[in-house]
Amino acid sequence: MSLRCDGRVVRVYTVGQVVHTLPRGPPVIGVTTLDDKIYLLRAVRHDQVEVYDAIKYQLLRCLTVPNIRGLADMTICRHYRCVYVADGFDYCVHRVGLHGGGKGWWPVNDEPNGLSLNKSHNVLVTCSVVHKIKEFNSDGNLLRELTLPDDVISPWHAIQLANGEFIVCHGGPGDAVHRVCKVSADGRHIVHSHGGQRGSDTGQYNVPVRLAVDNNEFVFVADTNNRRVTLLSPTLNYIRQVVSRDKLKRPPTRLHLDVHRQRLYVAANEYKNDQAISGRVVVFSV
């Protein structure tokens, strides 16, 4: 299916179809891809990052993030050939080379929730408690801090667009407002938004915890407690549910889009007494 967007004809994603499910194991904290590999972060003491073949889905090897105590999120950098892992216990970000070398870390000085990379290969750390996005270079030098608008409460994840604006999802279990917002490049103003009062209707969310954005700025939203993934237009208008709750047995907590392969990777964890006890990644064709 195609759609006109700013005078261009662009592809619009279809309802996702399950093509594979990676093995169930310890809770999944992050999932991403690079080249022909899938990188999956699990809540374990060692060999936290499992590396799979993206075609045969075979486990190839594991990477260990040393001295990490509170896994929070993961992203990957093609330019520097490394993974970044947020530590929610020690309030820092760890960097590990894709072949196990180049290990290091740097302080964030606030609790990190979500990680992403911008076009300058810098690391964006979303800090929920202080309502900030912090930008670091690959060596861990703090480049800037952006304070989000007061009504962007409990931000989970932010992705910077090519024009400098940000897509941000926010709303914790105890918050009244759950939305996806497009925020100005200086972090001060909301340009567009989708959502509002917490709920399960088409225009509502219940803890929208992670985002994925494609090259045309279409936005995928992991709506955790509604157990679905929603697709929005570049101006944050509702298009469809890409993954409905009948396709997911567990709440989606992490999300990654492989544009080249037209694959959406959805991490879903099983909970008991509000604690994640196991997890898996479901791969959808979109």
Please write the tens of the pLDDT for every residue from 239-285: 999 999 999 989 999 999 999 999 999 999 998 888 889 999 999 99
Q: What is the pLDDT of residue 275?
A: 86
Q: Residue 184 and residue 268: Cα distance in Å, rounded?
A: 31
Range 10-15, long-range pairs (CB < 8 A, 24+ positions) = 10/216, 10/218, 11/216, 12/218, 12/231, 12/239, 13/218, 13/231, 13/242, 13/262, 13/286, 14/242, 14/286, 15/240, 15/241, 15/242, 15/243, 15/244
Q: pTM value?
A: 0.95
pLDDT digits (tens, 9 = 90+) for 10-29: 677 889 999 999 999 999 99
Q: pLDDT tens digit string along 31-82?
A: 999 999 999 999 999 999 999 999 999 999 999 999 999 999 999 999 999 9
Domain range summary for the chain, segments of one domain joined by +: 2-285
The residues pairing with 194 across neighbouring beta strands, listed in sequence order, are 180
Could you tell me the sign of the dihedral formed by the alpha carbons of 186, 188, 193, 196, in that order?
Answer: positive
- Do 177 and 197 meet the contact criterion of CB atoms below 8 Å apart? yes
Question: Looking at the domain that runs over 2-285, which CATH code has it been given?
Answer: 2.120.10.30
Q: State pLDDT tens for residues 169-182.
A: 999 999 999 999 99
18 vs 279: CA distance, rounded Å: 16
